[in-house]
Copies of this chain bind each other. A is one copy, B any other.
Amino acid sequence: MKQEVESMLKSKEINPTVNRMLVLDYLLELKSSISLTDLELSLESFDRVTLYRTLKTFEERGLVHKIEDGMGITKFAICQDSCKAGMHHDLHVHFYCHNCKQTFCLPKTQIPEVKLPENYQRQEMELIVKGICSACAK
Contact = CB atoms under 8 A, between A and B. Distances in A.
Contact of A126 (B70, B109, B123, B124): B70
A49 to B, nearest CB: 18
A128 interface: yes
A131 B123 contact: yes
A108 B120 CA distance: 13
A95 interface: yes
A55 to B, nearest CB: 14
Interface stretch (A21-29, A37-45, A77-85, A110-118): A110-118
A123 to B, nearest CB: 4
A129 B72 CA distance: 17
Given A70-B68, A114-B112, A125 B127 contact: yes
Interface in A122-138: 122-134, 137-138
A98 interface: yes
Given A68-B68, A72-B68, A72-B72, A122 B129 contact: yes
Interface of A: 68, 70-72, 74, 93, 95, 98, 106, 108-109, 111-134, 137-138
